[in-house]
Amino acid sequence: MDQQKKKSKTITNILFTLLGILVLALVGAIIYFYLIGDIFQKEEDQIITCGCYYIDPQVTTTCGDTKRAFKFNTSTGTLSDCSASCPLTDLSINMLNSTTPQEDYITCTTTKILSTKCNAMEVKTESGLIVTGKIVPTETLTISATFDSAEYTDYKFLINNVPTQPDTTTDTSIALTISDFGDDSTLQISAQAVDNKGDTVSSIICNRLIEISTTAETGISSLMLDTYTSDDRTTIKTATITAGGLKDTNTNIMFSFKDKTLTMITGFELDPDKGRITVTESNLYNSTNFAGSESFSALNTYYGDVTVTVEVLQDDISIGTTTEEIFLITPPEGQTQEEEEEETTATESQFNVTKTSSETCVERVSPENTSTFTITVRNNGDITDTIESIKDKLPLGFEYVLSSSTLNGNSIADSVFVTTTDIGDSQEIVWEPQNSWSIDPAGALTISFSAIAGDNSLSGTNLNEVIVTPSEIPEDPSTLSSSIEIIVAQDCDDIDTTIPQTGIFDTTLGRIFIGIAIMMIGIIIHNTNKGNQLATMIVGSNTYRNAEMASYKIFSPKRYFEERLLERRERER
How far apart are alpha carbons 446 and 464 in whole angstroms? 17
Amino acid identity, position 300: N
pLDDT at 343: 40
pLDDT confidence of 566, banded at 50, 70, 90?
A: confident
Task: Name the segment(s) of the chain with CATH classification 2.60.40.1510.
Answer: 351-488
- If residue 23 lies in a helix (H) or strand (E), which one and from where to where? helix 2-41
**What is the CB neighbour count within 10 angstroms for residue 116?**
18
In this prediction, residues 72-82 reach a mean pLDDT of 88
Q: Identify the pLDDT of residue 69.
A: 94
Closest to 54 (Cα-Cα) out of 71, 36, 76 = 71
pLDDT value for 340: 42
pLDDT value of residue 315: 87
CB 447 within 8 A of CB 383: no
pLDDT digits (tens, 9 = 90+) for 398-431: 999 999 999 888 888 888 889 998 887 789 999 9
Phi, psi of 28 (to 5 degrees): -65, -40
Q: How many of the other CB atoms lie within 10 Å of CB of 476? A: 9
Q: Which helix (H) or strand (E) holds 239?
A: strand 233-244
- Could you give the CA distance from residue 432 to residue 389 in angstroms, rounded to a whole number? 5
What are the pLDDT digits (tens) for 482-520? 888 999 988 888 775 454 455 555 566 667 777 777 777
| pLDDT tens, position by position, 242-267 | 887 788 889 999 999 888 899 999 99
* Average model confidence (pLDDT) across the chain: 82
Residues in Cβ contact with 272 at an 8 Å cutoff, skipping those fewer than 6 apart: 246, 247, 248
End-to-end CA distance of the chain: 24
- Higher-pLDDT residue of 180, 205: 205
Instruction: Tell me the range of 14-28, 88-102, 110-124 where mean pLDDT is highest.
Output: 110-124
What are φ and ψ of residue 519, in 5° steps? -65, -40
How far apart (Å, rounded) are the C-alpha atoms in residues 492 and 485? 14
DSSP 8-state secondary structure symbol assigned to residue 129: P
CATH of range 47-212; options 1.10.3080.10, 3.40.50.150, 3.40.50.2300, 2.60.40.10: 2.60.40.10
Instruction: Report the alpha-carbon distance of residue 102 to residue 91 in Å, rounded.
Output: 6
On whether the CB atoms of residues 60 and 68 are closer than 8 A, the answer is yes
Map residue 503 onto helix, strand or coil: coil
CATH architecture of the domain covering 219-342: Sandwich (2.60)
CA–CA gap between residue 29 and residue 21 (Å, rounded): 12
Choice between 293 and 223, residue whose per-residue pLDDT is larger:
223
For 444-468, how does the pLDDT look when each residue is reduced to its tens digit (9 = 90+)?
Answer: 899 999 999 988 888 889 988 899 9
pLDDT computed for residue 509 by the predictor: 67
pLDDT tier, 344 (very low <50, low <70, confident <90, very high otherwise)? very low
Please, what's the b/e burial string for 226-238 (b: 16 or more CB within 10 A of its CB; e: otherwise)?
A: bbbbeebebbbeb
Q: List pLDDT tens digits, range 12-40.
A: 666 666 666 776 776 666 665 555 554 44
Answer yes or no: are the C-beta atoms of 125 and 137 closer than 8 Å: no
Strands 173-178 and 141-147: antiparallel
CA angle 420, 421, 426 (to 5 degrees): 105
Task: Please give the Cα distance from 272 to 275 (Å, whole number).
Answer: 5
CB 132 within 8 A of CB 77: no
From residue 572, alpha-carbon distances to 6, 545, 565, 567, 568 in Å are 25, 19, 11, 9, 6
Task: Give me the CATH code for the 351-488 domain, please.
Answer: 2.60.40.1510
**Rg, C-alpha atoms of the chain:** 37
Residue 189: beta bridge partners? 159, 208
| pTM of this structure | 0.40
Angstrom distance (rounded) from CA 319 to CA 323: 14
* pLDDT value for 39: 45
* pLDDT over 50 at 558, yes or no: yes
Confidence band, pLDDT 50/70/90 cuts, at residue 527:
low
State the DSSP string of 275-293: TEEEEEHHHHT-GGGBSSS
pLDDT for the residue 555: 75
**C-alpha dist (Å) from residue 201 to 70, 119, 513:** 20, 11, 51
Q: How confident is the model at residue 8, as a pLDDT? A: 61
CA dihedral 106, 107, 110, 116 (to 10 degrees): 110
**pLDDT of the residue at 52:** 95
Residue 325 pLDDT > 60:
yes
